[in-house]
Amino acid sequence: MSRAAGVAHALRRAHAGERRMIRLLEELVNDNGQEVEIRHVGRDILAWSLDSAAMLERIAQDREVELTTGPVTVGQPWGPVDPAVLQPLRTIFLIASDNSLAWELVAQVAQAEGIADLLDLARKRHEYTLRQLRWANTMIKTASPQVLATL
Amino acid sequence: MTLTAQADVVDEPDRIRHPWGARTAFRADEQWPQRVDMQLADGIDESQVDRWAVSASLLHSNGDAMDIAVKDDRIVGVRGRAGDRVNRGRLDVKDLFAWQANNSADRLTLPMIRRDGGLEVASWDEAMALVVDRTRGILEEEGPSGLGFYTSGQLFCEEYYTLALIARAGLGTDHLDGNTRLCTATAAEALKESFGSDGQPASYSDVDHAEVIALFGHNVAETQPVLWMRMLDRLESDDPPRLLVVDPRRTPVAERATVHLRPRPGTNLALMNGLLHGLIAGGLVDLDFVERCTQGYDALVAMVETCTPAWTEEICGIPAAEIDAAVQLLGSTDRLLATVLQGFYQSHQATAASVAVNNLVLLRGAIGRPGAGVMQMNGQPTAQNTRECGANGDLPGFRNWENTDHVEELARLWNVDPLQIPHYAPPTHAMQIFRYAEQGSIKLLWVSATNPAVSMPELSRIRRLLGQDQLFLVVQDLYLTETALLADVVLPGATWGEKTGVFTNADRTVHLSEQAVAPPGEARSDLDIFLDFAARMDFRDRDGRPLITWDDAESAFEAWKRCSVGRPCDYSALTYELLRQGGVQWPCTEQAPTGTERLYTTGVFPTDPAVCESYGRDLVTGAGVDETTYRAQNPAGRALLKGCEYRPPAEVPDNDFPLELITGRTIYHFHTRTKTGRTPELEAAAPEMWAELSADDAAGLGFGEGDPVEVVSARGRVRATLRLRPHRAGTVFLPFHYGYWDTGIALGPEKGQVGRAANELTATAWDPVSKQPLVKSGTCRIEAVAS
């Protein structure tokens, strides 16, 4: 793989991940049957992913990297396993942790290749992914005792 | 008609029309003069009173000390206590008159049980046996997760502590909260985020010394009228403090402001970020204090970097020049007192905006000195005790549920296994407790001294969920409230003047309130009800002895003192005897036997990981900060500056609902009018629902003063009489007090029927950090009354 291909891979990976998160959160935020805290906080953390995706698109354009733009599917990593509200929270958690790895790749390739603006982007946006992850973790911690007690 | 309170100075004030009474001006650093307010029943004078019982106000959070007059074993009036530090003799208009509600003919005097669909009178034995039987059944079938408790901001310290012990160690449920979730949850959370622990930094006496008082969403004139009297008395002197008022309404406080900012509802955090930006850009930061006593300055600077006056103007709808003027005012003195209340707590991004006020005083180094500090206010009289004693779900004594040492300490104190005390997750907040009840996983909900069928948001939903057959609802109250009408068991409670206990106001002042008369009929104190339940449940400690080791108020207070030792809210040197002399501010210890006027005087804050009540939360998502991260940050006694980005609110005006809706209080009523609606003078002063709107908005809609209108949101519809007020354009205000018990539809409106409770219109939504419902974030429209 060429040096440019490494950057392109990391950008595509991060962008696809943020788009997956966007797709998932859009579904949850617009689902009136969903728990209100998920719908409401989902709006705010959706905005983070929208911003991150837009920033990735700009930097990809600058570097002439073509990103995937077709329809996105959320997918169910390892299938639906948890009951009730735990399932969507688990999906957020898993996508966020995968996206965290993607940002790690962006940061690493940016450092290795000495691309300052890309490194800056990774530093700034990785934090939002981690905040999405921590939120899902807190929500799972909070909701699981009751869900599991009433199975 | 409904009265409008007048601020005129008069010699013989009619306290309904002139609720703040006559002025007793005083200059900075002087002592606030005494003025004793008294109201006795017609035909009774002071000399005819048989005896006086010491007490304090239970109708707002100010904690005004008073004595209750008793004649022939009946309450016949009240008199403000001259020497007390909080009020120096003055009383709020509600306190002057609402004692009459104790004597109301429709007090509950016997328990009731639902039989064949209706509530019927029963004996205590029958009622309590039924509650215990249900509790045991649920414990056996579903375990403690099937039990929930929703209590109040109006019980006494001893009662909350007993309830917390029953729920946590007796039953082992995490589902315990107070209606303080609706009023002061954000205060508690903001204090934890910035200073490491709950606990009011400043003191009411800081009003006597302040040069600038900045009130953020705090209509003190109506929420804490006696504190406003103190401010008015300073304003009448020849060296008045200057006021900055942030409120979309033209309140009585705003009338006296040097600068009045009227932000668009939902944009408080944007405004705060704009003010912080102004202080930083203007070189108005006390860098020495910031360096020495805080952490997080650089991140805060970066966070507000783009929040210029132009940006703030655009979002908040406030002219940039007014924002500049506010910044200059805030930066003009080192005697800056900031106060915060529901305008921030019940609005979008509640905790983040309230934390930003803490940031503001920290940037100014304005804390821990006379006239300099912050007060995250309370709405209800005993909300502070709900929080301290753990009846809001937090662990008693401001202990941290994530700190194993704190949990073990509590377990030793209660002599139970630490695993018996749920501490695996944040406590279940009220909105979630109601959600679990709605979904059926909570099967028994015990509501004490509050009226969620009127005070919770989105009432059609609340009525539906409380009325479900699958939910066993226990309601403990003074009257047959809207909530009690839905109950399976109703327990008649005793109230203020009929029982003994202590409670603590919004500036940490503890007052004793002694029993003056016997409760009516067979009504019992909430403490006796909880103790009876505990005895029947036969809760035991790990050695097989009774879990609860006290049997009356004073012994419960002694137990609470032991629980508070070494914590920020240390009560250890307080006694009933000492409190009979007047209010004392905690911490009150051997080292500080007369109490503590203000916290953080040395610039050291309880943020040490071993001490702090919380490791903090993400201010946008509410996600917890874990212990390792917090330890690595090493706050070591420094206050935490925490910035947060502004996010637009979920519900913004559109074609269907073009107006912003906010709710709030009037000086004449408290909560859902259970007492004040049964007080002739107060009821006559504000007998009916109204809506406030600016004259321009009203003219645009073709309405005028006094017109009957219907206010409509996506959730419901209420009827109100229109009042024109110079509030922010596009903003509708509704008082939240009015329910249905005194209307023809005591159970509330059926689907399609027009209601009158403001919470028919509010949304099920809460701040993700404090979990406080956002009843001041919504939209509506105004229509003519359908003929």
- Interface size A-B, in CB pairs within 8 Å, comes to 65
pLDDT score for B4: 56
Q: Do B441 and A146 touch (CB under 8 A)?
A: yes
Cα–Cα nearest to A77, from A21, A143, A141, A26: A21
Residue B543, C-beta contacts closer than 8 angstroms, at least 6 positions apart? B415
Contacts of A41 in chain B (CB under 8 A): 620-622, 768
- Looking at the complex, report in whole angstroms how far the Cα of residue B663 sits from the nearest Cα belonging to chain A: 21
Confidence of residue A151 (pLDDT cuts 50, 70, 90): confident
- Average per-residue pLDDT in chain B? 96
Tokens standing for residue B503: 């409670």
Tell me the mean pLDDT in the region B267-273.
98
Q: In this model, does residue A2 exceed pLDDT 80?
A: no
Residue A118: Cβ within 10 Å count: 23
Which of A146, A147, A148, A151 has the most B C-beta neighbours within 10 Å, making it the best mutation to test the interface with B? A146
pLDDT score for B3: 56
* B241 prior amide bond cis, ω within 30: no
Confidence of residue B398 (pLDDT cuts 50, 70, 90): very high
CB-based contact (8 Å) between A151 and chain B? Answer: no
Do strands B501-504 and B509-513 pair parallel, antiparallel, or not at all (unpaired)? antiparallel
CB-based contact (8 Å) between B622 and chain A? Answer: yes
Q: How far apart are CA B582 and CA B85, in angstroms?
A: 8
Which of B349, B402, B618, B777 has the most A C-beta neighbours within 10 Å, making it the best mutation to test the interface with A? B618
Q: How far apart are CA B730 and CA B693, in angstroms?
A: 8
Q: Give the pLDDT confidence of B549-589 residue by residue, as tens digits.
A: 999 999 999 999 999 999 999 999 999 999 999 999 999 99
Q: Give the pLDDT confidence of A34-46 residue by residue, as tens digits.
A: 999 999 999 999 9
Q: In this model, does residue B761 exceed pLDDT 70?
A: yes
Q: What is the DSSP string of B738-773?
A: --STTSS-TT-PPTTS-B--GGGT--S-B-TTT--B
Of A40, A43, A149, the CB nearest to B143: A149
3-state secondary structure of A48: helix
Q: Which residue in chain A has the smallest CA separation from B650?
A: A40
Q: In this model, does residue B7 exceed pLDDT 90?
A: no
Q: Do A146 and B426 touch (CB under 8 A)?
A: no
Q: Give the pLDDT confidence of B588-644 residue by residue, as tens digits.
A: 999 999 999 999 999 999 999 999 999 999 999 999 999 999 999 999 999 999 999
Q: How far apart are CA B539 and CA B547, in angstroms?
A: 5
Q: Give the pLDDT confidence of B47-59 residue by residue, as tens digits.
A: 999 999 999 999 9
CA torsion B603-B609-B614-B615 (nearest 10°) is 110
Cα–Cα nearest to B388, from B147, B613, B590, B556: B613
pLDDT score for A119: 97
pLDDT score for B77: 98
CB-based contact (8 Å) between B630 and chain A? Answer: no
Q: Which of residues 2-41 of A touch B (CB under 8 A)?
A: 35-37, 40-41
Q: How far apart are CA B312 and CA B309, in angstroms?
A: 5
Confidence of residue B786 (pLDDT cuts 50, 70, 90): confident
Q: Give the pLDDT confidence of A87-127 residue by residue, as tens digits.
A: 999 999 999 999 999 999 999 999 999 999 999 999 999 99
3-state secondary structure of B147: strand
pLDDT score for B9: 44
- Looking at the complex, report in whole angstroms how far the Cα of residue B771 sits from the nearest Cα belonging to chain A: 9
pLDDT score for B1: 41
Which of A130, A132, A150 has the most B C-beta neighbours within 10 Å, making it the best mutation to test the interface with B? A150
Q: Give the pLDDT confidence of B210-262 residue by residue, as tens digits.
A: 999 999 999 999 999 999 999 999 999 999 999 999 999 999 999 999 999 99
pLDDT score for B12: 53
pLDDT score for B6: 57
Q: How far apart are CA B732 and CA B720, in angstroms?
A: 11
pLDDT score for B752: 83
Which of A63-77, A99-113, B407-421, B736-750 bottoms out in mean pLDDT, i.e. has the lowest?
Answer: A63-77
Q: In this model, does residue A1 exceed pLDDT 80?
A: no
Tell me the mean pLDDT in the region B648-677.
97
Q: Which residue has the higher pLDDT, A82 or B709?
A: B709
pLDDT score for A79: 77
Contacts of B620 in chain A (CB under 8 A): 41, 44-45, 131
Q: Give the pLDDT confidence of A5-23 residue by residue, as tens digits.
A: 999 999 999 999 999 999 9
In this structure, are residues B94 and B154 in contact, taking their beta carbons and an 8 Å threshold?
A: no
Q: In this model, does residue B728 exceed pLDDT 90?
A: yes
